[in-house]
Homo-oligomer: A and B are copies of this chain.
Amino acid sequence: MATLKDVARRSGLTVGTVSRVLNNRGYISEQTRQRVYDVMKELDYQPNEMARSLSKKRSNTIGVIVPHVVHPYFAKLIGSLEQAAYDRKYKILLFNSQGKDEKEEEYIEMCKSNRVAGVILCSDTFQTDKFRNLSFPLITIERFLDEGTAGIECDNYRGGVLAAEHLIAKGCTSLLHIGGIRNHRKPADERKEGFEDVCKREHIKYASVESSQFIYDEMDYYSSIDRMLDEYPGTDGVFASSDVIAAQVLQVCARRGLRVPEQMKVIGYDDVNVASLTTPDITTIRQPVKEMAETAIAMIDRVAGGEMVPSRSLFPVTLVERGST
C-alpha cells in the first residue's frame, strides 16, 4: 500500500507538507492541497490509522460493550451508536460481555490496548477497579457507575408511572410487574418504584416480581411468567420491563386462553421492533434510544476535544399505545 512518502514523492512535495494537508495544519495553498488530493486518489492512498494513532496517542475508535447483542434493545442501541459514530468519523469496536464481569474487565483492557477514544458501557451493574484511572472517557447507558465519566439514562421512574397509569386508566384492577434482563439494579428499581407509587396512590392491587433466572442469549422467560401468573391469579394487567418479556407474556396468555387485551392487558418497555411484530402488537414505553446513542458518542467526542460534559443526562420516555392494552 502507498504511504505518505509515496504521495510526497509522486507530488514533488515533502512528507511534511503532505502531512500538513492531511491534518490541516500550517499554511497550504489551494493549489498544493488539490495536487495532494489528486495524487492520493491516483495512488489509492489510505492513511495508515495505526501509525496515526500511535503518533497521536489516540485512535478514532470507540469501544462499545454490551451484555447482549441479539436482544432487540441492544441491537437497536448498537445500530444507533454505529450511525452516530459514523457521523462523527468514529469507528465502533463491538464487545459482547454476555453479562459476565470477567469478560467486561477483559474488554476494558482491550480497549486500553487499542487506545480507544472512549468506551460506552451498557446496562448491567458491576463495579471494578479496572474502571478507575482510565485514560479515556467512560460513558454508561442505563447503568450507574461511580467511576464513569458520564451516565445516560432514560426516565425510568416516569416509565413506571406511565405504565401503571395507563393500565389503570384502561380499567385494570390487579397489576403485576415483571422485571428481567437489564434490570439488575437501579434502572429497574426506578421503574418499579414509579409503578408501585402509582398503584399505592390509586389503591390498586399490585405485585412486582423478577425473573432473575434469565439466561443470556436465550431470552426465555416462559416458565417464570407461567409461575407468576399462577402465583398471582386475578391479574388483569402486566407491566413487563422489556418488550421481549411482554411478547412472551402474550404467548403465555394465548396458551392459557386469556384474550389480550380483553381479559388481560400487557404493556412492555423499550419500543423495539418485536413490540410491533406480535399479535396484538404491544403497547410500550418508548426509550429515545437514538438520541441517547447520539449523546453518548457526542460526549466522547467532546471530552476528546477537552470539553466538559454533564455527568448525568436523563431522557424522557413516552407511551406508545398499541393493541395489547
Contact = CB atoms under 8 A, between A and B. Distances in A.
A82 interface: yes
Interface string A92-117: 11111000000000000110111100
A218 to B, nearest CB: 9
A109 to B, nearest CB: 6
A48 B279 contact: no
A49 B251 contact: no
A173 interface: no
List the 7 shortest-distance A-B pairs measured between CB atoms, nearest first.
A69-B79, A75-B75, A247-B277, A50-B54, A254-B279, A46-B113, A50-B53
Nearest to A217: B79
Can you tell how many copies of this chain the complex includes? 2
B94 A94 contact: yes
Given A79-B217, A273-B274, 7 more contacts: A1-B135, A75-B75, A92-B94, A93-B93, A248-B277, A251-B278, A279-B279
A50 B50 CA distance: 5
Interface string A239-251: 0000010011011
A273 B219 contact: yes
A78 interface: yes
Given A82-B96, A96-B79, A96-B83, A59 B70 contact: no
A169 B46 CA distance: 56
A79 B72 contact: no
A47 interface: yes
A46 B134 CA distance: 12
Contacts of A236: none
